[in-house]
Amino acid sequence: MGPLKGIRVVEMAGIGPGPLCGMLLADMGADVVRVGRLSASDLGFDVALRFDIMNRSKRAVALDLKVPAGVEAAKELIARADILIEGFRPGVMERLGLGPAECHAVNPRLIFGRMTGFGQDGPYRNLAGHDINYIAVTGALHAIGHKSGPPLPPMNLVGDFGGGALYLAMGVLAALHEVKASGKGQVVDAAMVDGVVSLMTMVFGYRQAGFWRNERGSNPVDGGAPFYTTYLTQEGKYMAVGAIEKRFYGEFLKRLNLDPKDLPDQNDQSRWNDLQAKFAEVFATKTRDEWEVIFAEGDHCVSPVLDMDECITHPFSQSRSMFVTVDGVTGPAPAPRFSRTPGKVTRGVADPKADTHDTLRHWGLSDARIAELASGGVIPPG
């Protein structure tokens, strides 16, 4: 199943963007093995293993990479892989003896995918950081938030997952295509700061054109415009409005039973506060469910704001089968969708302590070699 069937991926266990990238590849049919530590958890937070959905559909092994025998075992997997992805700070893989030079020595066709926050070079390369730090130095964080408030972290969607995992996945797949012609692997350097700047392409252009203001909450699509924001409903829930284009805006006003002749012009920024106040007044007269019925059809760009629990059970997501449940845990279905070779969640989250022997056997290591590694304490005893 999946367009990546037959592709083998070694994922060096980590947190955040690396695991999500591995999940995307696994959902598309790649055989992904997560190489974790022998003596400690690789999870970023203290949650039960089965809830770490980003590690679904993967195999798992636990190796002691602090000893030469463990490094050699890792190389045996890498020699059989098409792609390797790692998310350590610069220099860590080299210190382990698993840098690009060592890996390409055993597998010249290997795509070596590297995920960092600040990049492999530059003055910040060795600094610790998280999503909030990466989006802070790229202009993204400054642009997000209410006009009267501080910058507001958009969870860790922009740096870790948007600028990180998705760009790493795109990069390794592009390199996988290129290796068919050249026969040579290469390093894919996916720094989250680079990915976030790329995501900001449109905004950087608009800023230089004088169309985008540096003040948060003052622009057409940052919550500043009354036609692109959220409104509180009667019972304290919200509706989201994105009626930018004239025809959508006209339909939006019609559903609110408002006459444009009685309102300030849509693009008169000096009157945006007045316009927003009027819309807020109208939305407060009905519940979210009532507004959802009113906006159920037509071109108006208005939707109910659902929380994560509501999203799973809402008729819209149910109609598209947007979620799947494995081992009692519900997570997003594979995306994107393919017409002939659909992706599939093949299993829940593997426990490396229990899965190591089967995974090594599946990847071609002999029973004798597995027993040797186990007796040497390099892998779990089985």
Question: What gap in Å lies between CA 268 and CA 260, rounded to an integer?
Answer: 13
Amino acid, res. 130: H
What are the C-alpha distances in Å from 235 to residues 232, 253, 308, 312, 363? 8, 22, 18, 21, 56
Q: Which of 52, 82, 160, 222 is catalytic?
A: 160
Question: What gap in Å lies between CA 264 and CA 290, rounded to an integer?
Answer: 26
Q: Which run of H or E residues covers position 117?
A: none
Q: Which run of H or E residues covers position 60?
A: strand 59-63
Q: Are 117 and 159 in contact (CB under 8 A)?
A: yes
Q: Are 148 and 73 in contact (CB under 8 A)?
A: no
Q: Distance between the two ends of the chain, CA-based, in angstroms?
A: 29
8-state DSSP, 64: -
Mapping DSSP to helix (H, G, I), strand (E, B) and coil, where does residue 360 land? Answer: helix
* Per-state percent for the chain, helix, strand, coil, to nearest 5: 40, 15, 45
Q: How many residues does the chain have?
A: 382
Mapping DSSP to helix (H, G, I), strand (E, B) and coil, where does residue 212 land? Answer: coil
Q: Which of 104, 130, 142, 314 is catalytic?
A: 130
Strand order in the sheet with 302-304: 228-232, 238-242, 302-304
Q: Is 160 a catalytic residue?
A: yes
Question: What gap in Å lies between CA 243 and CA 74, rounded to an integer?
Answer: 53
Q: Is 262 a catalytic residue?
A: no
List, by residue number, the catalytic residues: 130, 160
